[in-house]
Amino acid sequence: MGKRDLIKYCSLFLAFPATVVAQNCEKPNVLLIYADDLGYGDLECYGASNVSTPNVNLLASNGLRFTNAHAVASTSTPSRYALLTGEYPWRREGTDVAAGDAAMIISPDRYTVADVFKEAGYKTAAFGKWHLGLGAESGKQDWNRPIEPALSDIGFDYSYIMAATADRVPCLFIENGSVANYDASAPIYVSYKKNFEGEPTGRDNPELLYNLKHSHGHDMSIVNGIGRIGFMKGGGSALWKDKNIADSITEHAVRFIERSKGEPFFIYFATNDIHVPRFPHERFRGVTGMGHRGDAIAQFDWCVGRLLETLSKEGLLENTLIIVTSDNGPVVDDGYADDAESLLNGHDPMGGLRGGKYSCFEAGTRVPFILHWPTIIKENRVVDALLSQIDFLDVMAAILDVEVKRNETDGTECEIDTWLGRNGKGRAFAVGMAANHTLSLIMRNAKYIEPKGGPHIVPWGPKIETGYSLEPQLYLRINGEYDETENVAPDAPELVGAMSSLLQYIKNNVGFYMNL
Ligand code: NG6
Ligand code: CA
């Protein structure tokens, strides 16, 4: 399909935003529960049988459970960047998996979903994993002072976050831009270049790894008996204990909900679970028989339950829009010797899909996605409409009746009907990005993976097929599932050509959307 045909074709299907729901009801609270590396098959309501997830199940059985929902990338930083800004990460340099001393990746003048909520008069807060950088210059933060810019500069009134991931230093919570529980007797130093003199590392001092040993990477500074990526010194009593991370972020969110009574709020609740190093609290140890990885899923579900219980106690559950989803697909061994592989016991984190985290194949970006909002959604349903997290900002703006300037985002408010279960077809296309930036164009009945070379298996340790190939790939959706077993591109050159042109067109046009 040529560019002109494409435009003509698309203009036949001009989409109009649906009626704004906010006019008919009080402003809803919005709680986004954003898991880390939680796979399509990791929850009981998505078919897992070795782990019970009663709280997530409850949301699914009273809400919408999507079976074709996609994160924007198969790794964290780009996926989160897209969710918060509505911009494809491949349009913006510096949005790849960030170090713990990266500068702010979302520039303060960028419009974010938190700004949307602020504009609608909401209180906004972020908890847990951040991984989108802090401060003005990479590697130049002084962790002993307030760090600027921080989340308050991109629309969050309150934040209690981990700078990056639990496997990257600094291993401290940052509250409103400053280290929480700062310990003046132990000044903090962080470097991603070299170690600090006299400080042990996982590589040189494996005897100090009393909580977890690494399987690949993660052999630099040791904090709480676990090797990390990057070097740090100091921190003292402010350093986190891995087993308390879930409790800590959850209790901070609970207090925020309790404080916010009477005012609408948006909470970005980004769990550390089930990213590595998985190190759940003792009360979850052994509950699944799958070791730390499975037990971290149970811990994740507990967090969901604790938030639900709080909303319910405050009388807010009815008019709170809750989304449970994940930033990218699953990985089993992602660098720590936590026996995740040997203890799977038949559990399939990928839920039958090919690939996983980092990959172009379906398990890379297809994620669980549950939407619960009793005021608007009156019956539970499984929805197989194609949905992309790229629309989060625009759909929220549509719900709140806030106008988003066109061409600023790649998402669209037109997808409100998909998100609220009123349109069973969903998006005409979703774009996914793998770790090496290979893009996939996922359409309702076919998926195209652009040609780009690279190793067939993730080269640094996880046993995951990347899906990278110098040849174009085409997979058809048969009986409701993309069949990625056979590349049918050689048999369908016209379809490959059309999808490749459409992908090129999307690359060249910010905000391009079509509704077929
Ligand atoms: C990789 C890490 C992995 C994980 C990932 C990012 C090593 C060997 N592996 O480089 O453990 O941290 O980056 O994951 O260091 S993400 O979910 O935050 O994107
Ligand atoms: Ca992730």
State whether the beta carbon of 230 lies less than 6 angstroms from ligand 1.
no
- Return the pLDDT at 516: 79
Quick check: 8 pLDDT over 60?
no
Quick check: 109 pLDDT over 60?
yes
| Token duo for residue 43 | 């929850």
| Ligand 1 centroid distance, CA of 436 (Å) | 13
Quick check: 1 pLDDT over 80?
no
Which atom of ligand 1 has the smallest separation from the CA of 36?
Answer: 17
The pLDDT tens digits for 202-241 are 999 999 999 999 999 999 999 999 999 999 999 999 999 9
State whether the beta carbon of 76 lies less than 6 angstroms from ligand 1.
yes
Pocket test for ligand 1, best of 37, 76, 171 (most atoms within 8 A of CB): 76
The residue whose C-alpha atom lies closest to atom 4 belonging to ligand 1 is 334
The residue whose C-alpha atom lies closest to atom 8 belonging to ligand 1 is 217
Average model confidence (pLDDT) for the chain?
95
Residue 457 has, within 13 A of its CA and on its CB side, a CA count of: 6
Confidence of residue 26 (pLDDT cuts 50, 70, 90): confident
Q: Taking residues 233-250, what's their average pLDDT?
A: 98
Q: Taking residues 174-187, what's their average pLDDT?
A: 98
Rounded Cα gap, residues 369 and 367, in angstroms: 6
| Ligand 1 centroid distance, CA of 409 (Å) | 27
- Return the pLDDT at 220: 98
- Return the pLDDT at 351: 98
Q: Report the candidate in 160, 154, 111, 155 with the shortest Cα–Cα distance to residue 135.
A: 154
CATH code, 29-178+240-419 = 3.40.720.10
- Return the pLDDT at 495: 98
| Ligand 1 centroid distance, CA of 375 (Å) | 39
Confidence of residue 25 (pLDDT cuts 50, 70, 90): low
| Ligand 1 centroid distance, CA of 281 (Å) | 22
Q: Taking residues 117-136, what's their average pLDDT?
A: 98
Percent of the chain with pLDDT over 90: 93
Quick check: 102 pLDDT over 80?
yes
| Helix or strand run (H / E) with residue 4 | helix 3-11
- Return the pLDDT at 515: 85
- Return the pLDDT at 19: 45
Residue 160 has, within 13 A of its CA and on its CB side, a CA count of: 19
Q: Greatest CA span in the chain, whole angstroms? A: 68
- Return the pLDDT at 6: 45
Supply the pTM of this predicted model: 0.96
| Token duo for residue 131 | 């991984």
Q: Taking residues 78-97, what's their average pLDDT?
A: 98
| Ligand 1 centroid distance, CA of 295 (Å) | 20
- Return the pLDDT at 406: 62
Q: Taking residues 335-342, what's their average pLDDT?
A: 98
| Ligand 2 centroid distance, CA of 80 (Å) | 9
| Ligand 2 centroid distance, CA of 26 (Å) | 34
State whether the beta carbon of 217 lies less than 6 angstroms from ligand 1.
yes
Confidence of residue 13 (pLDDT cuts 50, 70, 90): very low
Which atom of ligand 1 has the smallest separation from the CA of 229?
Answer: 15
Backbone angles phi, psi at 499, to 5 degrees: -70, -35
State whether the beta carbon of 192 lies less than 6 angstroms from ligand 1.
no
| Ligand 2 centroid distance, CA of 75 (Å) | 5
Q: Taking residues 478-491, what's their average pLDDT?
A: 96
Domain spans in the chain, listed from the N-terminal domain onward: 3-17+426-508, 29-178+240-419, 189-233
Confidence of residue 407 (pLDDT cuts 50, 70, 90): low
Q: Taking residues 188-205, what's their average pLDDT?
A: 98
Rounded Cα gap, residues 65 and 105, in angstroms: 31
Percent of the chain with pLDDT over 70: 95
Asked which of 12-21, 245-254, 277-286, 464-473 is least confident by mean pLDDT, the reply is 12-21
Pocket test for ligand 1, best of 95, 97, 226, 279 (most atoms within 8 A of CB): 97
State whether the beta carbon of 172 lies less than 6 angstroms from ligand 1.
no
Asked which of 2-16, 191-205, 380-394, 464-478 is least confident by mean pLDDT, the reply is 2-16
State whether the beta carbon of 330 lies less than 6 angstroms from ligand 1.
no
- Return the pLDDT at 262: 85
State whether the beta carbon of 37 lies less than 6 angstroms from ligand 1.
yes
User: Which of 193-202's residues contact partners 24+ apart within 8 Å by CB, and which partners?
Assistant: 193/139, 193/231, 194/231, 195/220, 195/221, 195/231, 196/231, 196/232, 196/233, 199/231, 199/233, 201/227, 201/231, 202/227, 202/228
Q: Taking residues 430-436, what's their average pLDDT?
A: 98
State whether the beta carbon of 165 lies less than 6 angstroms from ligand 1.
yes
| Helix or strand run (H / E) with residue 399 | helix 392-400
Ion ligand 2: residues, CB within 5 A, are 36-37, 76, 327-328
Which atom of ligand 1 has the smallest separation from the CA of 276?
Answer: 11
- Return the pLDDT at 424: 87
Quickly list H helices, 49-130. 54-61, 76-85, 113-119
Pocket test for ligand 1, best of 229, 292, 359 (most atoms within 8 A of CB): 229
| Ligand 2 centroid distance, CA of 274 (Å) | 9
Q: Taking residues 279-299, what's their average pLDDT?
A: 98
Q: Taking residues 307-320, what's their average pLDDT?
A: 97
